[in-house]
A and B are shown apart, each in its own frame.
Chain A
Amino acid sequence: MELSRRNFLKSGVAAATAMAVGIPVSRIASAAAAETEQDWRWDKGVCRFCGVGCGIMIATQDGKIVATKGDPDAPVNRGLNCVKGYFNSKILYGKDRLTQPLMRMTDGRFDKQGKFTPVTWDQAFDEMAIQFKKAYEEKGPTGIGVIGSGQWLIQEGYAMTKLMKAGFRSNNIDPNARNCMASAVAAFMQVFGIDEPPGNYDDIEYTDTVVAWGANMAEAHPVLWQRVIDRRLGHSDMKIVNITTLRNMTSEGSDLEIIIKPNTDMALLNYLAREIIQRDAVNQAFVDAHCVFCAGPTDIGYGMRATDKFAFAAEKDIQAREVEVTLTRDEAIGLGLDPEQVHTIKQANAATADRHWLVGFEDFKAGVAPYTLDFVAELAKGDAEESLDAFKAKLVRLADLYADPKRKLVSFWTMGFNQHVRGTWVNEQIYSVHLLLGKIAEPGNSPFSLTGQPSACGTAREVGTFSHRLPADMVVNIAKHRDITEQTWKLPPKTLNPKVGSHITKIMRDLEDGSISWVWVQVNNPFQHVANANHWLKAARENDNFIVVSDAYPSISAKVADLILPVAMIFEKWGGYGNAERRTQLWREQVPPPGEARSDLWQILEFSKRITLAEVWKEQAIPGLKDEGFEEGKLPDVMAAAQEMGYTPQMTLYEALFETPQNKAFAWPDPVAKGHDNHTVKQLGVDWFVEKALFEEYAGFGRGHHHDLAPFDVYYQDDVRGLRWPVVDGKETPWRFNAKYDPYVKNGEIEFYGGAMKELVTGNLNGPTTEEKTKFPGKAKIFFRPYAAPVESPDGNYDLWLCTGRLLEHWHTGTMTRRVPELHRAMPSAVLDMNEKDAEERGLKRQDAVWIESRRGKIKAVIETTGRNRPPRGYSFMAFFDESVFVNKLCIDATCPISKEEDFKKTAIKIYKV
């Protein structure tokens, strides 16, 4: 670039930057900005990365992205981007971008032991279909699986759900969001009977207090964190609290830092509930009118297998806890039991962990009674070098902030709560605290679950791409929900499978034990991100199975695959995401995908052309199916009923599910495109607007049912920057359950109208005492949940905690952000952050290379004692972005037994010098 042009460009960029954030500039400068941009086509989009959902503007020229800028009109980020914003253009242009299908072959034929060889799309789909039919004929719908994503576009997740559930009659579809958000989802359903938060990001500007629980917002959600910091600058009474297991970047901006031991968040929340009652701070009118109290079983296990058949020798002692466990002293106290006695518990409710029943306020009060300041402070204090008195003072200060009736308060949380062997419980507990105080569903008072992926909400949760879900919060194991879905999808009755499928960890276990032998992975990297990876890598490569990975780059998952399908990325296709505050945002295709890369949606639809109804809608064996109305272990043949509806046995799933008369009514080209292309439609060779048709079909599930989306075209209007559902009569809903803002509230000022699980039996903390069910429509549940110790804790051998998480510069498994070698240099290799004294005690120092070993594997890494994460004694931290330091080989695959989300935060390790 010649110098004068570059100088001119810089002036233009400077002026445009200033204008984007509202700094006035001279007329000459604004003219420079306009001239800089004059040859570019600008359009709105959404950041590809975390769940915040920042609006960006994208400039293209000659089929390439040339610039991006924070969208000044986007209410989420108001013109700003975080560092990851730089990657929205860069990720499309990595040198090792996959641009053609690759299959393992020897001598021109598929061979699981063969080498990756370029093939045509037809060859790829032909082999994929052969292998699919082999697995499906032999094992039926439970013999196949799909691992999807919270980064799936809304339409992609919807199409794959429909193909799997309606077409293949399999519920073995689960997104990586399982390991990110499932605990939040389970708690939303159990507490409110409907998923996703009452409040929104605007609560930040209305509140007096932000408490971050297990959420390093400064690193993981920097743009929201900036809004929090801005609020404090303009509001002198604002207080920020960071509750964490280690000192991190969020501590720097906080007024109060509380360092706790792993899992003691549960004790701390019970202390808060107890304090609220003791101080007479319960908002009695609110609780009486809008809440009930609940309890559930505590003998629920840790989501591991109940057998040690597949466990490594070193894993067996921990695995045995899935069957029987002896309570720790603290657990006994927390359950109101005599701590001097030995309490051995059989995990009798492992399969029914989500059961719960009504209890009275006095039961709840008795449940939290043991959680005194003395007990909780001693149990929870995470920094050995802090005095007990100082720690106690902090807990009292925290209780002061929560209990003050005049103080508005937002609790934010992410993976610290969700990736937790009691993730659902701890999510429920934070709602209990807010509900007791009535600090919910109004501006500034908000318990708010942050998300990690751009469409964990919009796709994984709202579309329902989980193994138990259907769209709009419906589930496969409720007959009425299947009926509604079958009618909407025009399926014969009993096409849908009522038996909940395998969640993501179980799909991996199924691959290992051979019950699944065909898997398709889209938009994620499960062989890196699922814990206890050594098992799954071996299962993928050594068992007789076929693994398809749709990916843009050679991730670990692509490398262990048998077939790799190159994908179009984010702005190379039409799509939509939904962020954590229920904001749905759609964009147009901006640039063409490279080479033969094609959208995931195109791949789903093309593959569906290769399977006929006769192959899937016949009688199918489903081991363990026992639902009412079905013959045991079987799905019926529905082909005869299908023929009466006009289907034929030779019709393909593409024709039956996707190219329907209703969908074909959405014509392409469409004026909403404004000249933008659509490679999915072009490559399918059709004249209907696939993304619009599928969006509208999907939206039909939620409209009129608390989940209303606006019409497709509305999201593309120039004056719209996403809309928070429910969108009723053209208006979005900023705060749900509050009559001032939410048209679905029909009774009173506050109504928790979610309909799931609003009829229960009654009992006490020990169990139900009646069989009669009570209905409590419109109310939310305040759960008592006791403290539970982690499934695995440091001992004499594995003597250090390991917590894993994310860093600012890298995102998740790093498939996109780690592409660029230069970027990689800033954070060259994942390091193990640990306390300097722990290092010294082991004869180690900063920058030493060490082996890190757990019961499940070992990896090499470099020690850091002065990084921006500062663990207390006994604790260490490692990011999970780096495939060369494969931290999930160490992590335990225990899950919350209710949500089935893994606990990546608590593994016992030992370290020694290489």
Chain B
Amino acid sequence: MNISGILVVVPPARIEDATRELNALPGVEVHHTEPSTGRIVVVQEAETVEQEIAALSRIKALSGVMLAEMVYHVFDETPPEWDAIPAEMAAS
């Protein structure tokens, strides 16, 4: 389970709506807001890096979002089992 801290910036007038819309997204929680600048800190939880990226795209797609970028990333996926590759590397 990975967790990332994301900075979202919206026009200050939209901060309440944006907070509500962000909280409605799966795995996303708004933790801090700064009404004067429109800055919002959200934490999102996802199984994998890929899901985190997809979720970030959803945040960026919300109306009025001027910026949404990852700041903090806690990487807690299942430790890898190293494959010994020679199986002719034919997978793809």
Residues of A within 8 A of B (CB): 1, 6, 9-11, 13-18, 20-21, 23-25, 29, 64-70, 79-83, 85-87, 89-90, 93-100, 102, 115-118, 222-223, 226, 229, 233, 554, 558-559, 594-595, 809, 820-826, 883-884
Q: B12-49, CB under 8 A of A: which get 1 and which 0?
A: 00000000000000000101101000010111010011
From residue B17, how far is it (CB to closest CB) to chain A in Å? 19
Once the chains bind, are A79 and B71 in contact (CB under 8 Å)? yes
Once the chains bind, are A13 and B1 in contact (CB under 8 Å)? no
Once the chains bind, are A116 and B49 in contact (CB under 8 Å)? no
Once the chains bind, are A820 and B81 in contact (CB under 8 Å)? no
Once the chains bind, are B5 and A13 in contact (CB under 8 Å)? yes
**B63 in contact (CB, < 8 A):** no
Once the chains bind, are A102 and B49 in contact (CB under 8 Å)? no
* Residue in chain B with minimal CB distance to A555: B89
Residues of B within 8 A of A (CB): 1, 3-7, 29, 31-32, 34, 39, 41-43, 45, 48-54, 56-57, 66-67, 69-77, 79-86, 88-89, 91-92
A95 to B84, CA, bound (A): 10
* Residue in chain B with minimal CB distance to A10: B43
A sample of 10 more A-B contacts (CB under 8 A), given A68-B72, A89-B73, A118-B86, is A67-B72, A70-B72, A81-B69, A86-B73, A87-B49, A99-B82, A554-B91, A594-B82, A826-B53, A826-B54
A117 to B7, CA, bound (A): 47
Q: Which listed residue (B7, B69, B73, B80) contacts A97, Cβ 8 A?
A: B80
B70 proximity list for chain A (CB < 8 A) = 70, 80-83, 85-86
30 A-B pairs within 8 Å (CB atoms) are namely A1-B1, A6-B3, A10-B45, A14-B5, A14-B29, A17-B31, A17-B41, A20-B71, A21-B7, A25-B32, A67-B73, A69-B73, A82-B69, A82-B70, A83-B56, A85-B73, A93-B80, A95-B80, A96-B91, A100-B84, A115-B88, A116-B89, A118-B86, A233-B66, A554-B89, A554-B91, A559-B89, A809-B53, A823-B53, A884-B92
From residue B20, how far is it (CB to closest CB) to chain A in Å? 17
A233 proximity list for chain B (CB < 8 A) = 66
- Listed from nearest, the 8 A-B pairs whose CB atoms lie closest are A17-B5, A822-B50, A14-B31, A89-B75, A823-B50, A69-B72, A116-B86, A554-B89
Once the chains bind, are B50 and A883 in contact (CB under 8 Å)? no
Once the chains bind, are B34 and A23 in contact (CB under 8 Å)? yes
A95 proximity list for chain B (CB < 8 A) = 80-83
A223 proximity list for chain B (CB < 8 A) = 69
B3 proximity list for chain A (CB < 8 A) = 6, 9-10, 13
Once the chains bind, are A66 and B75 in contact (CB under 8 Å)? yes
Of B31, B57, B91, chain A has the most CB atoms within 10 Å of the CB of: B31
A70 proximity list for chain B (CB < 8 A) = 69-72
Once the chains bind, are A14 and B32 in contact (CB under 8 Å)? yes
Q: A117-B86, A554-B85 are in contact. Are A66 and B57 (CB under 8 A)?
A: no
Q: Which listed residue (B67, B74, B82, B83) contacts A229, Cβ 8 A?
A: B67
A13 proximity list for chain B (CB < 8 A) = 3-5, 43, 72, 74
Q: A18-B32, A23-B32 are in contact. Are A86 and B88 (CB under 8 A)?
A: no
Once the chains bind, are B86 and A226 in contact (CB under 8 Å)? no
Q: Which listed residue (A18, A66, A86, A558) contacts B76, Cβ 8 A?
A: A66
Once the chains bind, are B5 and A16 in contact (CB under 8 Å)? yes
Once the chains bind, are A222 and B69 in contact (CB under 8 Å)? yes
From residue B39, how far is it (CB to closest CB) to chain A in Å? 6
B32 proximity list for chain A (CB < 8 A) = 14-15, 17-18, 23, 25, 29
B88 proximity list for chain A (CB < 8 A) = 115-116
A82 proximity list for chain B (CB < 8 A) = 69-70
Once the chains bind, are B69 and A820 in contact (CB under 8 Å)? no
From residue A102, how far is it (CB to closest CB) to chain B in Å? 6
Once the chains bind, are B77 and A93 in contact (CB under 8 Å)? yes
B86 proximity list for chain A (CB < 8 A) = 102, 115-118
A562 to B91, CA, bound (A): 18
B77 proximity list for chain A (CB < 8 A) = 90, 93
Q: Which listed residue (B49, B57, B69, B71) contacts A822, Cβ 8 A?
A: B49
From residue B45, how far is it (CB to closest CB) to chain A in Å? 7
Once the chains bind, are A14 and B43 in contact (CB under 8 Å)? yes
